[in-house]
Amino acid sequence: MTHPLVAEAKALAPKFADRAAHWDKTRSYPWPNVQDMTDAGLMGMTIPTEYGGQGADYLTVVEVVEEIAKACTLSARIVVEANMGGISAVMAYGTDEQKSHCAPIVLAGDKPAICITEPEAGSAATEMQTTARKQGDTYILNGTKHWITGGGVSKLHLIFARVLDEQGHEQGIGGFVVHIDPANPPKGFEIAGREHTMGLCGMPEATLHFKDLEVHEKWLLQPPSGLRRGFADLMNAYNSQRVGAGTIAMGVAAGALDRAKTYLLERQQFGRPLAEFQGLQWMIADADIQVHAARLMLREAAKSSDPFPDIASAARAKLFASEIAIQVVNNSLQMFGARGYSDAEPLERMYRDVRMFTIGGGTAQILRTQVAGAALGIKTPQTRDGYDPKVEQIAAE
Ligand code: FAD
Ligand code: COA
């Protein structure tokens, strides 16, 4: 039986498909879709019922995300970030005050921004330079994050920073929940610049500067392993977002394949429907198998969550889905001939959109390393000695 939330997503899909080209061409955020998804209960559906959400599990979320992604990649990214990643970290590691504060904001349509990447720390996220130094009951944040999805539209931000005590000794990498009004950010929080991206054009990818930004200590998340090992806990929560990202890629691929199948049955050449040519049938068969396999891996990862998918399940599923999606969308475009290369069809946009998923959220190379580590049963630190806060003095008085 179809879950009611999945039925809601299916009902929204045709409308979202009609609007998708508009957000791409105008590079604008799909606010009307956000309103529709809020009304349908898709924003914050994983938030527990005691905080006003529906306590939906990740299996339901990935089924919803697939339906939305078939129609509008941008909107699917919003659903993922309103249910996985940052908000999941808050719901798992937050204090009651943090959860009570964040839940209504997401349920009203906010997609929290997750702020990890920096100009000099991309894959090497453990080399981040942003610091949060304790001063009384406040932390003072300094640093720059870039490629922040939703920077400039999101209200909630989960900012990863090296946490320093009053003497400047590092305690570990922590996550701060920072609520801002993007139209009127506080002193010390600057939304600077926006990338000009190949696809996913309606989503701002922003640079954020923090200059002596004051954040009360009550907004620091409390991961179970404590600050020193808290980075691993935060990344564990982030594994849910990787499964979400893989699902978007798979959903786009499934949407492209559906369109190609319809076209092959309609378009005639050599006096026959294209669907009768074996060369194209085999392209359809390969794509069908690839999408099917990716869907199974993603659902397996979602189902195994306890409370999050483990590092290897998430890496394996996101890596496989993002790579097959590029091939499937590319081959679907090919089956449309010249028409696929034009904006008469959504395939060219889907191709530009789907290209991102082997990069953002952990590159294919980084994820392969994580799968290899799990397969071999060894640790695979990429930093020379592995990340381990040595409680060293970073910022001397
Ligand atoms: P680099 O780390 O410089 O990597 C360059 C190349 O080297 C890649 O091919 C990489 O795979 C390879 N490489 C690096 N290290 C290794 C290694 N050890 N072994 C093998 N190969 C390696 N970040 C956020 O914090 N929040 C966001 O919301 C966010 N959204 C994004 C949205 C988009 C559209 C994109 C494109 C990125 C987003 N990112 C975000 C950033 C993203 O997570 C980083 O781009 C990613 O982690 C890679 O970092 P980098 O781009 O600096 O590449
Ligand atoms: N899930 C759970 N734990 C994770 C994890 C994940 N996805 N990624 C790393 N960890 C844990 C490691 O197991 C390790 O814990 P341990 O010391 O107890 O063994 C700790 O975090 C540090 O990871 P390690 O791989 O030793 O450190 P590194 O300095 O080589 O850093 C990463 C590598 C984690 C930064 C890199 O693998 C990575 O994921 N880069 C991509 C960052 C990303 O996805 N950015 C997206 C921004 S939106």
Ranges for all domains in the chain classified under CATH 2.40.110.10:
113-225
Residue type, 3: H
**Cβ-count burial of 390 within 10 angstroms (0-12 exposed, 13-18 middle, 19+ buried)?**
exposed
301: nearest Cα among 48, 5, 59:
59
- Bridge partners of 145? 208
> Which residues contact ligand 1 via a Cβ below 6 A?
114-117, 122-123, 147-149, 200, 205, 356, 359-361, 363, 365-366, 369, 382
Note the pLDDT of residue 391: 61
- Bridge partners of 164? 133, 170
Pick the atom of ligand 1 nearest to 197's CA: 34
> What's the predicted TM-score (pTM) here?
0.97
Distance between CA 262 and CA 328 in Å, rounded? 15
Ranges for all domains in the chain classified under CATH 1.10.540.10:
4-83
Which residue of 77, 147, 158, 238 sits with most ligand 1 atoms within 8 Å of its CB, as the best mutation to test the pocket?
A: 147
The structure tokens 């929560």 sit at: 237
Ranges for all domains in the chain classified under CATH 1.20.140.10:
237-376
Instruction: Please enumerate in sequence order all residues whose Cβ is within 8 A of that of 15, keeping only pairs 6 or more positions apart, or say none.
Output: 36
Pick the atom of ligand 2 nearest to 124's CA: 35
The yes or no reply on domain 113-225 and CATH 2.40.30.170 is no
Would you say residue 396 has pLDDT above 60?
Answer: no
Q: What is the pLDDT of residues 188-212, one digit of tens each?
A: 999 998 999 999 999 999 999 999 9
First-to-last alpha carbon distance for the chain, in angstroms, is 63
Distance between CA 37 and CA 39 in Å, rounded? 5
Q: What is the pLDDT of residues 328-380, one digit of tens each?
A: 999 999 999 999 999 999 999 999 999 999 999 999 999 999 999 999 999 99
Pick the atom of ligand 1 nearest to 125's CA: 47
Q: What is the pLDDT of residues 47-85, one digit of tens each?
A: 999 999 999 999 999 999 999 999 999 999 999 999 999
The yes or no reply on domain 237-376 and CATH 3.20.20.70 is no
Q: What is the pLDDT of residues 177-190, one digit of tens each?
A: 999 999 999 999 99
Distance between CA 321 and CA 331 in Å, rounded? 15
Mean pLDDT, to the nearest integer, of 162-191? 96
CATH number for the segment(s) 4-83? 1.10.540.10
State the Rg of the chain over Cα.
21
Would you say residue 394 has pLDDT above 80?
Answer: no
Among the bound ligands, name the one nearest to the CA of residue 157: 1
